Amino acid sequence: MAGKYSIAGGEAVTSPLRAIRVDKLEADDANDNANERAQSPVRGVLVDLPHDADAAPGPGEVVIRTVHSAVNYKDALAVTGRAPIMRRLPCIAGIEAYGTVERSADVRFRPGDAVAVHGFGIGVEHDGGFASRVRANADWVMPLPDGLDFFCAATLGVAGFTAALALHRMEHNGLTPGAGPVVVTGATGGVASLGIAMLAAAGYEVVAITGKADAAAWLQAIGAATVLPRSAIEPPGKPLRSARWAGALDSVGGETLAWLASTMREGAPIAAFGNAGGNTFDGSVLPFILRGVQLLGINANPPMPLRREVWARMAGVWRPRGLERFATTIRLEDVPEHCERQVRGQTRGRAVIRFD
């Protein structure tokens, strides 16, 4: 079906709105296995959405023609129905989008402006970036930083922004390149791998920890000075171990975070942004009391001034070298299959969606 988009002072034009929309499974669309249906009551599918009403932006809204989006682990969980990510159904998935302003009801944006939008509940409680057009509150929209095209911005995206925000917070809390090695867990993930590259670009010595033995060469190519196997993480027990790390980016949580805390140097910050290994923390308070270890929770939805500051640094001094190494380009129709692979841990780096 075609959606209507009116041009101020002119006639309405029509163009299709293609999207990955998450909704409850219909009986004839569900897997034949009743148990799997029960475990995954919602799923994201490719749809052409009808729009019966004029789609011009309402007060304070911007309509963006999407050029690129990208798939995050949160998106993969939503599209596969593996976790109750969506706060309303149906909802178009995708927590980020990059493109040009098509129409704007806000004087800060004009048609043709290159913009980015992520966070603020898009792809979770508001229709998101897995669509050929995105309608967003203008307060959520940010001009694309100088020096970044749409593809590079999507390759960095929410994953890169999360890593950059973590680096910003750690440096604000005293981390400097000369302080010692910075360890990164879950190193092949989108946030972690971009974090490695940004740390390396900023002059840090990076130690990557991964459970994927075949990823060592790739991790060294993007900036890791040393790659350790997951077996280097010791089992719980000792509250304080040999102090090794000047800082840490942790995408795992659980027992890994407890081990990290026990191995940090005096006053060292841990930036925690993931829970792939569990959302509980069965550790000791002693590293925080006796060594002054700092645990920094990274919420990638900060106020707009900080968002713009971090994006500017990510486009400049923290920009990873060889961004093309981080991205695999996929089509919108490939998204459900990619999401299945991502939740199984079968992907590496970033999947950037191309909208033709």
Residue 3 has pLDDT above 70, yes or no: no
Domains and CATH numbers, the chain: 2-144+323-354 (3.90.180.10), 158-297 (3.40.50.720)
Pick the range with the lowest mean pLDDT from 45-54, 205-214, 285-294, 312-321: 45-54
In the prediction, which pLDDT does 14 show?
54
Work out the mean pLDDT of the chain and round it to a whole number: 89
Q: Does the pLDDT of residue 29 top 60, yes or no?
A: no
The mean pLDDT value for 170-196 works out to: 94
pLDDT tens profile 105-153: 999 999 999 999 999 999 999 999 999 999 999 999 999 999 899 999 9
Reduced DSSP (H G I as helix, E B as strand, rest coil) percent helix, strand, coil of the chain, to 5: 30, 30, 40
H/E run at residue 166: helix 150-172
Residue 325 has pLDDT above 90, yes or no: no
Evaluate whether 74 touches 335 at the Cβ level (below 8 Å).
no
Average pLDDT, stretch 88-100? Answer: 97
State the pTM of this model: 0.87
Q: Beta partners for 241?
A: none
334-354 pLDDT, tens per residue?
Answer: 999 999 999 998 888 889 999
pLDDT of residue 51: 59
| Residue among 68, 26, 77 nearest 47 (CA) | 26
Model pLDDT, residue 159: 93
**Average pLDDT, stretch 90-119?**
97
Give residue 9's pLDDT. Answer: 33
Closest CA to 70 of 345, 322, 310, 342: 342
DSSP string, 67-101: EEEEE-HHHHHHHHTSS---SSSSEE--SEEEEEE
Read off the pLDDT of residues 201-243 as tens digits, 9 standing for 90 and up: 999 999 999 999 899 999 999 999 999 999 999 887 899 999 9
Predicted confidence (pLDDT) per residue in 285-298, tens digit: 999 999 999 999 99
Q: How far apart are the first and last CA of the chain?
A: 17
Average of per-residue pLDDT across 38-55: 72
Q: What is the pLDDT of residue 201?
A: 93
Q: Are 200 and 220 in contact (CB under 8 A)?
A: no
Spatial separation of the C-alpha atoms in residues 15 and 37, rounded to whole Å: 34
